[in-house]
Structure formats: structure tokens, C-alpha cells
Structure 1
Amino acid sequence: MTPSPTARRAATGRQHELRRGGAVVVVTELAAGLRSYARNGVALTETYGDGQIPPGATGITLAPWANRIEDGRWTLDGKVQQLDITEPKFGHASHGLLRNTGYSVLEQTESAVALEAVVFPQHGYPFLLRHRVDYALGSDGGLSVTQTLANDSAASAPYVLGAHPYLRIGDVPTEELTLTVSGRTRLIADQRLIPRSSEPVSGGTDLRGGQPVSSLALDSGYTDLAFEDAADDTPGGPREAHAPRVARATLAAADGRRVWMWQEQTCPYTHVFVTDTFPGRPAAVALEPMSGAANAFNSGAGLGWLEPGASASIRWGIGSEL
């Protein structure tokens, strides 16, 4: 007997649904990805069909590096390491080693899930690590994500952690939204999207006061972010005795509705990707929290090192006013 189409497994594996505070989240087995997030019936992230893999890496988590490593090559203790080239267009190793890996569930409740996958030693990255991703919905429907990388190797391992969510506000065309990012410095990349320098934001690259998405064509990193006291968009944050400080990147509609990605100070970089190639969308905006810059394995900008047995975490999330 041929299984019905509805019985087939999604291309991204098991789907983990979370509900709380009027919000619904779907997290995928593949790449511990954020497949969808809606609050009060309003879609706040881009999504995709059951038979698709995440277009434009939408929603996936990134480890043990985020963004690109130039030519897939870096140096460890004087020896050149060569990674597989996973971005043929530019010839780089892109978005880490777990984007095509399934994550196991460690624990799950109605409003939270914890998943984990192993980075095995391989050519170009000779380390054994575990990447854990915790998704949780707050009482107000706000979403928080904690990513933790643990080093099970006998040697220190380099890393950058990040994620790749695309934000939206329901059916409002994204090109009609206004984008605000607090970064005071923009990374200047070459034609292959590798940062070569940085400069203070100015003119059309200054997003601090908001810029129409329709006027932007960006694939750029921002840093020197403005970190402020956590507000109600951080589930539990403002009620904690020592609430963390967060930076925000916001999309706003003309009717006053807003959605934002917040990130704690463990993520001092926001990569902004404005594209016209997302399937079925004239414009889409990825707002990517990152602990280091693109090509950090070569530049050292924001690169972290984990000692044997040590771990490190980043925390980010999505809030909204609807």
C-alpha cells in the first residue's frame, strides 16, 4: 500500500510545535531550525512547505561557525585546514557544519523544546563538540532561543555561534516595512562577501533611525550595537533580578505593528540580509544574531575558543507589538 502524502515525513524531519501566550512555533529536526513563528495569528517569520529544505537557510541555527569562512580555509597551529566548499557561487564554507544534520530532542514541554546534535571531527575542523538549542515561549508569546556549544575534544576549539531567522509582519509586503538596526559600525565586504574593513554607518547604511526596506540591498554585518535593558519582549528577562541587556533589530509597518529580533551581549554582531530571491516574496529580510563576524576564523573578529570540557552560550529571540 502506498502511503498517503500526509503520512510522509517533512523534508526537515520531525516538527516540534510549541504553544503559549497566543503564539505558535514550529521547530524542525533539521538544523534545529525555526520553521515558523506566529503570534495572535500573525506570521512573524518566513516559512516554507513540507517538501522543501529551508530556502535561503531560513530559520536554521549555525555552529561551529556562522556566515562564511573564506575559501573554506583557515590555519590551526600553523597548519592549513581545508573545509568542504558549501557555497559554490563564492567558493566559501558557509553556515557551519550542522545545517544538514538532524537534532535529537533532549526534553520538550508544551511551550519549550531542547535539541542537540554532535559536530564530529572531520577534515578542516578536527574537533568533537555538542550544539544544544533551547526554544522557549514566554507568557506573552515572546520567543527566546539559547544556543550552547560544548567542547568534548582534548584541544581548544574555535567557534562562532549564530542563527538565520527571516522576519515579517503577517501579510504586509516586507518591502513596505521600515528596518531599524542599532549598529554604529558596518563591516565592508568585498565582492565575495568577505569583510575587509569597517566604517561608521552613514547615509543609506545607517539604519539607526530606520530605512525603508524597498531602498535597501544589503548583505552586511553590523556591530557596535546599542545594548539596552531588556524589555517585555525577553521572556522572563525584565522580571529577573539581573536582567540582561539586549540590542534589537526591528521591522515596522505603517500601521504601528512591529517585530524585532533581540540579542544579548554574547552576540555583538547582527548580519543583515535583504533579498529579492526568497521564494514567493518580492523582498525578505534576515536578521542574524552572531557571536563573531563573517570569516572570523581568519580575521579573529569575535572568534571564540572553547577549552576542553568548556561550553559557551548565546541567547536571542523575537518579540512583537501587534
Structure 2
Amino acid sequence: MIGSGSWFRDHQIRYLAHTQPALRSPLGSRTRERCRTVNTSSSENEILELRFGPYAAVISSQGAALQTLRYEQRDLVLPFEPRSNTTDFRGVICAPWPNRLADGRYRWDGREIQADTNEPDRRNALHGMVFDRRWSVIAVRENSLTLATTLSQEVGYPFELLLQVTYALGPAGLTGTIIATNTGTKTLPYGSCPHPYLVAGDSPMHQWVVTIPADSFLETSPDRLLPLREVKVEGSHFDFRRGEFLQGIRIDHAFTKVNRGSDGLARVTLREPSGTGVELAFGQEWPWLQICTGSKPELGLAVEPMTCPPDAFNNRLDIVLLGPGESHRGTWFIRALH
């Protein structure tokens, strides 16, 4: 059981240039396309567009969210209108914890810390504290852009944390990178996840074949969706290791014991009957994966690589500890399947 101890073991380009090297996309070095500002109103979201070959992406400064990602006019993620993404966290960055924090409460260094809850029916603090913030665009290059925000002695998170997110397009699709840096003087707890809803194609979601390369998942409490225990997927409804249809299955669970290729990447794939689809790949810095069919299950599938499981600030499982000046980097990739 997770509850038992035995289970666990404005723009700042100058600042970025002095604290981080130029972020390079592993998808390619060509920069023949451009980053275009769609809206720069100081009182609203800043919306920017990236293009590279057949790929196009729109990024919103609110939540550093991936608003759209298309390949030859085909949606790879579920798009949203500006300022409408926070109800289902579509496309946002979730930090300093991903998923649910029970009662919004945890203990750290001998003190009890209380964060605001935003899931009142379940009494949880869901997806951290930066999903609805307006991030600053601090660097723009021809096929990439970087956004940043800070947490500084917040109610519910009394630490100093700099978050930077870079989106880059290349010949193999989108690369996303989150860098978290402890800018304070004390060790802090940290976790994160991106929150895209993937789209295989125009067919209904129940016709998609989904592959999830994980050997285990977390059972959750029915009332609050908090983790109870780790269970093997074999013999369950959640064994998608060889590809299964989503028809009739509702998922809002964290998966782990992730299987990876020789390149160290795990790959979640969605394919529709025509054979087209989408893939999200992620590295070993994400040992967990949340899959959610959502409240509108015919639209898209949330695929969320996570640094830690739900309620990690309490159960301490795979929690990232950052000492003063230390950073954590996590990268994920989204590409079209043909």
C-alpha cells in the first residue's frame, strides 16, 4: 500500500543567456522556418506560432501550453481556444507537482504546508501551481521558443524555483523540454509533467489502437482517485503493451515499470483505422506516465509523462530533490505516424 512505509523506498533573455546554454533540439539543426508572434497584447496571453516543414505548433503563454500541434493540417493534439484550457488542463505544464496532492497538504522539514485545493469534490490540489499562470517568453529562435516562470515563497510552496520550458520543431516533430532550477538556499521537492491530449485522427477514440509500454499501474481510491497500490497490468483491463482498442475503457491512472527502447525512450502510440496516428516518446527522467481518457472521451487521450506518481509530496515515491543551484531536465517528443 502506498500509505505504508514498506511500499516506498517583461522578458528575461539576458538572464537566460547567463544561466543556461542555448537549448538545442535533438530533432535537427535546420532553421528554415520561423517562429511567428500571433498576439502580443500585454494584458492577454501571448500566442506564438512555430513552423518546420509539415509541422506547425501554437504555444500559449498561459500555462506555457501547447495549444495546437499539426502535421499537414492534421491535429496531433487536441486544440483549444485561448484561455479555455484550464478546465481540463489541456496542453499545460504541471509543476511543482503533477497530478493530485491529497488535501493540498504535505509535511516538509518538520512543518505542515497547505496549498489551495482546486478539485473540491475530491479535496485535492491538482497539477501544481503554474498551469494557469502567464509565463514570460524569454527566448525566440527560428524554430524554437522558451518560456519561464518563477515560484517564490508561495502559499503552499515556500521555496524558490525557476521553471523554463522550451518547445522546438524539427524534421521529426516537436521536442518539449522542462528545466527546473532551485534558486534558493534550501533543498526543495519537485515534480512535473506536460499534459497534452493526443489525437490519432478523425475517427472516434474508441476505434483507436493504443500502445502503453508499462508493466504496472496504480490502483486508486474510487472517491478521490488517490493511489492505493501498484498492480501488474497483466490480466487487467489496462494491459496495452501490445496495442489494444480503447473501446469501453475509462482510464485515469498512473502507469510505471515503463519499457524503453535501446535509445532509452518509451513510446506511447495511438493509431486510427486508416493507419495514421501519433507517438509521444519520453526519456528515463520520467519514470511514471498518467493516462486519462478525460471527461469527453471521444475527443483525445491525455498522455502525461511524470517525474513522480500522484501524491508524491506525501508518499515520497520518486520525488525529485533539488539542492541549492541544482536543476532537473525532462524532455519529451511528439511526432506523426504515417
| Fold in common (TM above 0.5) | yes
Deviation at 1:213, TM superposition (A): 1.6
Match 1:286 to one of 291, 299, 302: 302
Match 1:247 to one of 256, 266, 283: 266
CA distance in 2, matches of 1:256, 1:170: 9
Alignment-mate amino acid for residue 246 of structure 2: V
Deviation at 1:229, TM superposition (A): 3.1
Contact residue 11 and residue 52 of structure 1 kept, 8 A: no
**1:178 matched to which residue of 2?**
209
Structure 1 residue 144 and structure 2 residue 144: aligned? no
Change (3 A) 1:222 1:7: closer
**1:60-79 equivalence runs, <5 A:** 60-79=92-111
Contact residue 50 and residue 169 of structure 2 kept, 8 A: yes
CA distance in 1, matches of 2:39, 2:105: 42
Contact residue 119 and residue 129 of structure 1 kept, 8 A: yes
Deviation at 1:212, TM superposition (A): 1.2
**1:237 matched to which residue of 2?**
none
Match 1:312 to one of 320, 328, 333: 328
* TM-score, length basis structure 2: 0.84
Alignment-mate amino acid for residue 159 of structure 1: Y
Deviation at 1:136, TM superposition (A): 0.7
**1:1-322 equivalence runs, <5 A:** 13-50=45-82, 52-140=84-172, 142-191=173-222, 192-202=224-234, 203-230=236-263, 245-275=264-294, 277-278=295-296, 282-322=298-338
5+ residue gaps in structure 2?
A: 1-37
- Secondary structure of 2:176's counterpart equals strand
CA distance in 2, matches of 1:27, 1:170: 21
Contact residue 59 and residue 66 of structure 2 kept, 8 A: yes
Alignment-mate amino acid for residue 301 of structure 1: L
Alignment-mate amino acid for residue 163 of structure 1: P
CA distance in 2, matches of 1:42, 1:284: 14
Alignment-mate amino acid for residue 268 of structure 1: P
Deviation at 1:153, TM superposition (A): 1.2
Change (3 A) 1:138 1:174: same
CA distance in 1, matches of 2:216, 2:289: 11
Once the two structures are superposed, residues 256-288 of structure 1 have per-residue CA deviations (whole angstroms, 9 ceiling, x without a partner) of 11211111000011100012x23xx63431000
Deviation at 1:61, TM superposition (A): 0.6
Alignment-mate amino acid for residue 152 of structure 1: T
Contact residue 185 and residue 200 of structure 1 kept, 8 A: yes
Once the two structures are superposed, residues 202-243 of structure 1 have per-residue CA deviations (whole angstroms, 9 ceiling, x without a partner) of 23111101221223101000001111134xxxxxxxxxxxxx
Contact residue 165 and residue 286 of structure 1 kept, 8 A: yes
**RMSD (Å), alpha carbons:** 1.9
Change (3 A) 1:94 1:11: farther
- Secondary structure of 2:128's counterpart equals coil
Q: Structure 1 vs Structure 2: percent identity of aligned residues? A: 28
CA distance in 2, matches of 1:115, 1:186: 32
CA distance in 2, matches of 1:273, 1:320: 20
